[in-house]
Amino acid sequence: MTRFGDFAPLCTSTPSYPWCNLFYRQLQRTSNSTLVGSSSSPRTAGVGINPTCFIPPTFSTTSDPPSPHLGNIANFIACALSFLLVLALIWLAHRRKAAVGRIELRTFLGLYALSLPLNAITTGSFLEQGGTAVVVLTALHAGVVAALFWALLANAVVATQIVEDGTWSSLVPYYTFAALIFGLGTYLSLDVALGVTNVIGAPADPPEALRSISLFVVLTIWPLVCVVLYLALMSHIVLRVLNERRPMFFYALSALLFVLSQLAWFLLGRVICTASNRRVDGAFLGTVLETAAVGVLFLAWRSITEESWDDEVYYPS
């Protein structure tokens, strides 16, 4: 029976689910008996734990005769193009000198841009499973994702103008909590994989459950809470404070795209993987939809902020 915090169903049925890299290392250091089939050898294992479908690693030589594999090349390309788009959004945000929350939004976009190359690597089947490199990069990816959703929520708090945006009273807690949450997500991930502590990093009983309540909260519950609170705060600001309707279309569309991106990851991943004969999965579609959600979020922010201050010169009569 699946319990709260069990990653086993996701690591088995969801191709390219990056947090499975952490549990692969956990199983390696506890018991090899839980790794069967292609997952039993790091040289042939894709992303996942005994997955029903996975993209072969680039260095796999299981075919006869051996043929090179491209890994998760579709998601790699999606991440690369998304990275360029987000850099353009950061530049556009920088140009809006008078916009409320300009610095805070740029930080959010910067964190998302940082998550994209980590996403490409941790889901790409480019690194050998169980290795220190893939574990550390996956842990950093988890930390960035946790901090990213704090940055999203903090942007809504800044938009309320409780504190003046761009000042020390706004930026100090903004960056402090971002650093703390990043550190927490990274530490918990490394602890699950490497077992530094006996409480947090201890494997589940049985180990096949791949259970970690703390990691599940940080990487699943925490993002969901941040998204809900962000939408609630922005709805209040737009509808009640600004008395606008049009910007809510952007926020609603962004939320819809985000939901669709998660459905692409979790529901379409195995279908696409099987249909493409393990060449691509739902990861690239999830990345494209997530980036679209971020882009529409930028349009929503742009629609409720000023581009520049009134610089007209006053000539007395």
Q: Is residue 20 part of a domain?
A: yes
Q: Is residue 278 part of a domain?
A: no
Q: Is residue 230 part of a domain?
A: no
Torsion of CA 292, 298, 303, 304, to 10 degrees: 140
Q: How many domains does the chain have?
A: 1
Secondary structure tally for the chain: helices H, strands E: 11, 0
Q: Is residue 62 part of a domain?
A: yes
Q: Is residue 16 part of a domain?
A: yes
For the stretch 87-116, pLDDT in tens is: 999 999 998 887 888 999 999 999 999 999
Which domain covers residue 172, as residue numbers? 8-224
CA distance 317 to 313: 13
Q: Is residue 73 part of a domain?
A: yes
Tell me the H-state helices in 217-277. Answer: 222-235, 246-266, 269-275
Three-state DSSP state, 6: strand
Please give the pLDDT value at position 295: 97
Mean pLDDT over residues 74-97, rounded?
Answer: 95
**Do the beta carbons of residue 79 and residue 18 sit within 8 Å?**
no
Q: Is residue 58 part of a domain?
A: yes
Top-confidence residue, 38 or 83? 83
What's the pTM value of the predicted model, to 2 decimals?
0.92
Please give the pLDDT value at position 65: 43
For the stretch 137-179, pLDDT in tens is: 999 999 999 999 999 999 999 998 888 888 888 899 999 999 9
For the stretch 211-255, pLDDT in tens is: 999 999 999 999 999 999 999 999 999 999 989 888 999 999 999
Please give the pLDDT value at position 313: 38
Residue 40 burial (CB count, 10 A): 14
Q: Is residue 314 part of a domain?
A: no
